[in-house]
């Protein structure tokens, strides 16, 4: 470990932080005086994002595939080495494959589960001891309304997000005892690159028909709730799932 001084300024790790919802979450933390480590598999976008944020004292970009234990361990060590602590972990990196069951290959299944479920398991496992040394912290896992209710084309994606919700409750139960709160944000559809890729015209019109607010969410609307859950204002919130979906889930 280097002799980098440990400051009192809090530190957040955001996986999949190079773009989309993760980047909006990083902006929330930076606006609230955190230092931020962005972990992402897309080195090119990550480099561009770090350049645009242009704050090397407070932003650390790390190329990391969250489904790979050695990369997660190395990224955790680098954050500790650079910033000295970790107060918040947002497991946001995710991938989507929307296909009927009979077209979903085992490789699709493993890719989706590897990123969306193995990733949060590995990252929380690596970061929790660092938080614990510091007296506690907050973990927020980004699931989806697809993890709250089943729908067609989402056999791998929906299953990964439902399992992530339960993983969070397991973590909340055990890690709560050492001061680490674990919660879930379950977004409805949000206008990002992922949505452009997997939301067909049919999927878009289905959503518009059933979302009481009659629109997709913005990345900032998700980030605001994630930030709240990581903040002292949420100090007694643990093991909860908050849907940020314009009323989609409530409308049944």
Residues 186 to 245 in contact with ligand NDP, rule: CB under 6 A: 187, 189-190, 192-195
- Rounded to the nearest whole angstrom, what is the least distance from the CB of residue 114 to ligand NDP in the complex? 7
Site string for ligand NDP, 12-41 (x = CB under 6 A): ---xx-xxxxx----------------xxx
Q: Give the span between the Cα atoms of 248 and 131, in whole angstroms.
A: 34
Q: Tokens at residue 215, please?
A: 């629109």
Residues 90 to 109 in contact with ligand NDP, rule: CB under 6 A: 92-96
Picking from 180, 159, 178, the residue whose alpha carbon sits closest to that of residue 239 is 180
Q: Give the span between the Cα atoms of 141 and 27, in whole angstroms.
A: 17
Q: Which is nearer to ligand NDP, 136 or 194 (CB)?
A: 194
Exposed/middle/buried for 202, CB within 10 Å: 0-12, 13-18, 19+? exposed
Phi, psi dihedrals of residue 245, rounded to the nearest 5°: -145, 20
Q: Give the span between the Cα atoms of 245 and 177, in whole angstroms.
A: 30
State the residue for tokens 């559809």: 189
- Rounded to the nearest whole angstrom, what is the least distance from the CB of residue 71 to ligand NDP in the complex? 8
- Rounded to the nearest whole angstrom, what is the least distance from the CB of residue 236 to ligand NDP in the complex? 26
Q: Which of 11, 80, 122, 142 binds ligand NDP (CB under 6 A)?
A: 142
Q: Which is nearer to ligand NDP, 146 or 238 (CB)?
A: 146
Site string for ligand NDP, 42-81 (x = CB under 6 A): x--x------------------xxxx--------------
- Rounded to the nearest whole angstrom, what is the least distance from the CB of residue 153 to ligand NDP in the complex? 14
Q: Give the span between the Cα atoms of 221 and 231, in whole angstroms.
A: 16
Quote the distance between the C-alpha of residue 96 and its chain's center: 14
The residues that touch ligand NDP, with contacts defined as CB under 6 A, are 15-16, 18-22, 39-42, 45, 64-67, 92-96, 115, 119, 142, 144, 187, 189-190, 192-195
Which residues are catalytic, by number?
A: 157
């Amino acid at each position: 470990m280097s002799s980098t001084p440990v400051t009192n300024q809090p530190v957040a790790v955001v996986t999949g932080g190079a773009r989309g919802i993760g980047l909006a979450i990083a902006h929330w933390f930076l606006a609230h005086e955190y230092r931020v480590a962005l972990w992402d598999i897309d080195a090119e976008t990550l480099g561009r994002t770090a350049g645009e944020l242009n704050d090397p004292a407070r932003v650390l970009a790390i190329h990391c595939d969250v489904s790979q234990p050695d990369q997660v361990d190395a990224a955790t060590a680098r954050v500790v080495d650079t910033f000295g602590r970790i107060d918040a972990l947002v497991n946001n990196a995710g991938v989507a494959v929307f296909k009927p069951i009979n077209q979903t290959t085992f490789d699709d299944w493993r890719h989706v589960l590897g990123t969306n479920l193995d990733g949060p398991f590995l990252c929380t496992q690596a970061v929790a001891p660092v938080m614990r040394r510091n007296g506690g912290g907050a973990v927020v896992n980004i699931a989806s309304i697809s993890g709250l209710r089943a729908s067609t084309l989402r056999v791998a994606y929906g299953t990964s997000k439902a399992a992530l919700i339960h993983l969070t409750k397991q973590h909340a139960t055990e890690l709560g005892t050492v001061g680490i709160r674990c919660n879930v944000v379950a977004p409805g559809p949000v206008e990002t690159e992922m949505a452009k890729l997997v939301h067909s015209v049919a999927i878009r019109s289905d959503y518009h028909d059933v979302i009481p607010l009659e629109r997709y969410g913005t990345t900032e609307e998700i980030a605001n709730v994630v930030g709240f859950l990581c903040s002292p204002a949420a100090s007694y919130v643990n093991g909860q799932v908050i849907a940020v979906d314009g009323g989609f889930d409530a409308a049944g």
